[in-house]
Amino acid sequence: MYGTAIITGASSGIGLELARVFAREGYDLLITARRDKRLKQLKKELESTFNINVYAFKLNLTEEDAGSKLFHYAEKNDLDITVLVNNAGVGDYGFFHKSEWTRQLQIINLNITALTHLTHLFLPVLMKNKKSSILNVASVAAFQPGPLMSVYYASKHYVLAFSEALANELEHSGVTVTTLCPGPTESEFQEIANMQKSKLFDRFAVPSSKQVAEYGYKSMKKGKRVAIYGLHNKFLPKLIGLFPRNFVTATVRKIQERK
């Protein structure tokens, strides 16, 4: 057994598939999301299929002190935490000046604040183990500005920069930090972010959440710091540096626009 992996946003998409991968590999799980029914269904599925222990904790990570509630729950149940997967995230589509501030604040609170707080809370616990890992789910959006999804793109840039700095700080500590950067992926994200009609999802074949989750897990186990899924996505950071920033931003805007 590998101890217990925490997975946020485990009720759908990449988080759901990551839970299945970790369960298959022998980890006990602490899964959390807002949708209690889905969490309970996943708990039942994983425990019966893989003979592991699954702790399902309904939680809205955008709420104040949500991270502390999860930490105290893990403490109360005496869980041996060896992996933290910060997967929960949300986006929004449209012009920033026309958006609802509450939605933008939700993006910041979930994609940035909750991720950072959970990492701060659980890192001392992870450092007590000889070999532990943090897997932060960012996006290829982290490598450039994103007109029409400005706050989302900026939040993923934060995740990438924070994770890379943390990975450097934790060298020789026994804790690895991997940032998973997928491109567009088959999930509920585009519907929730109101971007079903964006041209972004027409550019390339869109992988499944399962494919991305398998890649993310393998990258984490290898201790890879930045894991970019998809061959065309891997070229993106290198290409961006070859062009003026205004050109990059305008190109992203064109791709993001509706059909």
Span 119-153, pLDDT tens digits: 999 999 999 988 999 999 999 999 999 999 999 99
pLDDT of residue 193: 45
Span 153-205, pLDDT tens digits: 999 999 999 999 999 999 999 999 999 999 998 865 555 445 555 555 555 57
How many structural domains is the chain composed of?
1
The pair phi, psi for residue 80, each rounded to 5°, is: -90, 90
pTM, to two decimals:
0.90
Q: How far apart are CA 60 and CA 33, in angstroms?
A: 7
Helices and strands (H, E) in the chain, number of each type: 10, 7
pLDDT above 90 coverage of the chain, percent: 78
C-alpha torsion 166→168→172→175, nearest 10: 30
Residues annotated catalytic, as ranges: 152
Span 45-93, pLDDT tens digits: 999 999 999 999 999 999 999 999 999 999 999 999 999 999 999 999 9
The count of C-alpha atoms lying within 13 angstroms of the C-alpha of 73, restricted to the half-sphere facing its C-beta, is 17
Of the two residues 120 and 248, the one the predictor is more confident about is 120
Span 45-57, pLDDT tens digits: 999 999 999 999 9
Tell me the DSSP string of 5-38. EEEESTTSHHHHHHHHHHHHTT-EEEEEES-HHH
pLDDT of residue 43: 98
pLDDT of residue 5: 98
- Give the domain range for residue 164: 4-256
pLDDT of residue 90: 95
Is the per-residue pLDDT at 256 higher than 70? yes
CATH number of the domain where residue 22 is located: 3.40.50.720
213 by Cβ neighbours in 10 Å (0-12 / 13-18 / 19+) ranks as buried
